[in-house]
Amino acid sequence: MKKLVYPFREKDVRSLKAGDAVSISGIVFTGRDKFHKAFADGDAVEGDFRDAALYHCGPVVVKRGGEWKVVAAGPTTSVRENPYEPKFIAESGVRVIIGKGGMDKATLDAMKKHGAVYIQAVGGAAALYAAAVKRVAGVKRLEDFGAAEACWEFEVEDFRGVVAMDAHGNSLFSDVAVRSSKTVKALFGKK
Amino acid sequence: MVRTAVLPLDRGRKDEEGAMKGKDVAEKLARLVADTASALPEDVVAALRRAKRREKKGSSAEAILGTILDNCALAAKNGTPLCQDTGALAFFVSSSLRGIVTRSAVEEAVRLATERGALRKNCIDSLTGASVDTNCAGGFPIMHYVDDGFTRRGTGKVTLVLKGGGSENMSRQYSLPDASLGAGRDMEGVRKCVLDAAHKAQGYGCAPGILGVAIGGDRALGYETAKEQFLRPVGTAEGRSENPVLARFEKKLLSEINSLGIGPMGLGGETTVLDVKVASLSRLPASFFVTVAYMCWALRRKTVFFGGKEGAR
């Protein structure tokens, strides 16, 4: 298990390879559909995303005793942000994208060019990821985006995932798709 | 998590006629909902543990299965939902419980469980796009009365299965012959459909999944039967089909699908599915459907008994 600690520096991120299991500690911002749409519309969420992580996640967060408490924080499907992510990576300096299901070739190319990685979080592991959030450091655009779409700033400890797309142009998703297509074709050929 | 009024604990209290009161039934079922959402059944946990042992030491597949198991242990300990998608709820109720486990008791249970935070507000009005905050409307929760051998009124069981939307999106129905797959109207054709469904799903339904397959039927019965297969134990000999032909077919599909190397969450590995369950139905001469229901690794299933256990049949 490789450890990634905020601030995530370019050289550390570039040292990761597709397939590496990682444990992340530090600042993770959440951002999903409305976050990306606002960025594309010139109404970007203000914040310093340089060397931080962006998590495709719509968490369940409740206020308890005046403090925000994260109840569930599993990943959401990342493909919907494909049209926006390359530009966001280029302009924000974000180093780590966390999500589910992977992203397209344009995003992979942007990650290679600017030094970023895509980390697959485990779908469904909402309880464990909620427990990895040690503190909610802040929230942006809660009023207009709503709680599930707002940009939450989480301080996480030992948030686990797997590098699925690295900064060298490798994607486990496309490797697996190519390999499994060959195998299924071979199986179709025999009884 | 919002926790509102806590009702008195249910101890299976009965009135003089031996039938539980409506409020007690709803409370018992609300606890069933909360327990089902927070803890996986033992057979599924055991299958995930075996899968983790099969993966290469230090591989990403092993790490993902470890994360899944840690998540499940934590959710079970805290009694919180193990996945944020608390899913579509399907209640399978013994016919002998008609009039006791009623639609209104089931809906009351789901409302209570939602209020207590055991379920996410997870129900959308398809016309307006508005959230139905009670999780009860327009066919949800799903409810089936089944003839399962219980005959005495007031005795029987209720099994609840929760199925998330990401996995449901990976389910498919085929109509044989299928030229694109080269699949004809025979078991070879059925095999190709199941392999194709597993391949197309990749890891997107939260692999390693469990496949429920129905051969034949009309389209609606095909999906219903495919999903009923999730009631059978996963990864054990007793969970195999009683039909020896289907049992062999299940084992063959399990090993062939796992040879695809899609692995946990689609990042590669030995375990693409935990199990495959197949049922055969009759069909019309003109139709030959093959229905493949995809269930994510989070197969949440639990049973409660009413009026005593099996002996009371």
The reply to whether A44 touches chain B by the CB within 8 Å rule is no
CATH architecture for the domain at A2-189: Alpha-Beta Barrel (3.20)
Find the angle CA(B266)-CA(B268)-CA(B270) to the nearest 5 degrees: 110
The reply to whether B239 touches chain A by the CB within 8 Å rule is no
Question: Coil, helix or strand for A59?
Answer: coil
Question: Residue A74: its chain B contacts at CB < 8 A?
Answer: 83-85
B107, B111, B140, B297 from B128: Cα distances, Å: 22, 21, 16, 32
The CA distance from A6 to A2, in Å, is 13
One DSSP character per residue, A153-167 reads: EEEEEEEEEEEEE-T
pLDDT at A111 over 90: yes
pLDDT at B15 over 80: no
Span A134-153, mean pLDDT? Answer: 94
- Which residue of chain B has the CA closest to A164? B267
Q: What is the DSSP letter of B265?
A: G
pLDDT tens-place string over residues B166-218: 999 999 999 999 999 999 999 999 999 999 999 999 999 999 999 999 999 99
The complex's ipTM works out to: 0.89
pLDDT at B16 over 60: no
Q: Please indicate whether, in this complex, the C-beta atoms of A187 and B256 are within 8 angstroms of each other.
A: yes
Q: In what order do the strands lie in the sheet with B88-94?
A: B142-146, B88-94, B156-163, B300-306
Reported as a pLDDT band with limits 50, 70 and 90, residue A61 is: confident
- Which residue of chain A has the CA closest to B69? A125
Question: Residue B264: its chain A contacts at CB < 8 A?
Answer: 122
Q: For strands A60-64 and A67-72, give the pairing.
A: antiparallel
The CA distance from B174 to B131, in Å, is 32
Reported as a pLDDT band with limits 50, 70 and 90, residue B152 is: very high
One DSSP character per residue, A65-79 reads: TTEEEEEE----BSG
Span B208-236, mean pLDDT? Answer: 98
Helix (H) or strand (E) segment spanning residue B213:
strand B209-215
The CA distance from A119 to A177, in Å, is 18
pLDDT tens-place string over residues B78-87: 999 999 899 9
Reported as a pLDDT band with limits 50, 70 and 90, residue B312 is: low
Nearest CA among B307, B116, B85, B202 for reference residue A181: B202
Question: Residue B122: its chain A contacts at CB < 8 A?
Answer: none
Q: For strands B172-175 and B289-295, give the pairing.
A: antiparallel
Q: Please indicate whether, in this complex, the C-beta atoms of B84 and A126 are within 8 angstroms of each other.
A: yes
pTM for this entry: 0.90
